[in-house]
Amino acid sequence: MKALVYRAAGEIGLEDVAAPQPAADEVLLDIDAAGVCGTDRHIVAGELGVAPGTIPGHEIAGTIQSVGAEVAEWEPGQRVACFGQVTCGVCEPCQRGASNRCQRPAVLGMARAGGFAEQIALPTSCLVRLPDAVASPIGAIASDAIATPMHALWSVGRQSPGETVVVIGAGGLGLHAIQLARLGGAACVVAVDPSEAARKAALLAGADAALDPVAEENPRKAMRQLAPNVSLALECVGRSETVELGLSILAPGGRLVIVGVGMAQPKLPPLVRFAGAELSVLGSFGSTPQEIATVLDLIERGRLDVSHSVGREVSLAEAPDVFSQPQTAGRTVILPRSEESRA
């Protein structure tokens, strides 16, 4: 089969690789769509230590082609979205339903072959039913670009109605975070992003205001003028300066939830500020299969507007160029089984 293979820092290419052979408790999926996440860009840039030869991609939707001998609850032809980790199922987090915190995970596209390919073999624990009304590109990105900010806002950040929410980074995660914050009852939502296109998209997504941190001499002061009582901030970038900005704008009792992935080591404010203002800094990673199912239900019922969630669709053959191009406001989605991909 054809697949995109990470070769070295800054290098990814289309190759012919052996088709996966599913185990008895796995299914073989024909991949219909795979989203390109910011993490995939970090992988291709060589920033996350992923081994050369790995097939990236963890935002996946597909159709079951065949099932292993021990699989009873799924059958060929069913459409699914995929949870982005193969988990152990026996550790304490897995046992209590927090599979995104599995102590022995194999993350798709990092420790195990991912979705930038024509097929993938996965255990049934990764599968989430994809409603007929949800298109495959949306189903693919729902597993991360939408479920991840929902987990960050509602499960980790514990958003309450009436709060002021700031979203730092108005890319794929941030734009959906804005909608979800609104759905969660936020009184005010402010986006932060240096990209004019991203700020415009944030306003269209429902933000009350959008701040350019680069244009402001004092971004913290400018933010406090826009939103003086920030109780919840989401950092969706993964850089030191954006984490530090998120901390600086919190009102007493505020929570900063770090969603962005990277190797940055931000500076923390004096401990007296944490203690005196009772600030919280929380990490948030991915989501659970149950949360992915909730997101798909919200989309099916029209509670989330996903009409601008996909910025462009490309074939496998076109996909290597994506990693040298700027990110679009909406997710880039690879269609591995398109005619262009098979050419």
Q: Do residues 118 and 294 touch, judged by C-beta distance below 8 A? A: no
How far, in Å, are 3, 40, 102, 309 from residue 6 at the CA level?
10, 10, 25, 26
Stretch 60-65: mean pLDDT: 98
Q: Do residues 151 and 100 touch, judged by C-beta distance below 8 A? A: yes
Residue 172's pLDDT band (cuts 50, 70, 90): confident
166: nearest Cα among 266, 249, 279, 260: 249
Residue 236's pLDDT band (cuts 50, 70, 90): very high
The full set of domains in the chain, from first to last, is: 2-144+287-342 (3.90.180.10), 158-283 (3.40.50.720)
Q: Tell me phi and psi for residue 305, to 5 degrees.
A: -90, 110
Residue 220's pLDDT band (cuts 50, 70, 90): confident
Measured on CA atoms in the order 284, 287, 288, 290, is the torsion positive or negative?
A: positive
Q: Tell me phi and psi for residue 15, to 5 degrees.
A: -140, 160
B/e letters for 273-287, b = 16+ CB within 10 Å, e = fewer, are eeeeeebebeebbbb
Residue located via tokens 């794929």: 172
Residue range 260-296, pLDDT digits in tens: 877 778 888 888 888 888 999 999 999 999 999 999 9
Whether 342 shows a pLDDT value over 60: the answer reads: no
Residue range 16-58, pLDDT digits in tens: 999 999 999 999 999 999 999 888 998 999 988 899 999 999 9
> Which DSSP string corresponds to 54-117?
-----EEEEEEEEE-TT--S--TT-EEEE-SEE--S-SHHHHTT-GGG-SS-EEBTTTB--SSB
Displacement of CA 292 from its chain's centroid (Å): 11
The pLDDT value recorded for residue 140 is 97
Would you state the structure tokens that stand for residue 163, as one six-digit string?
């709060």
Distance CA 87, CA 72 (A): 20
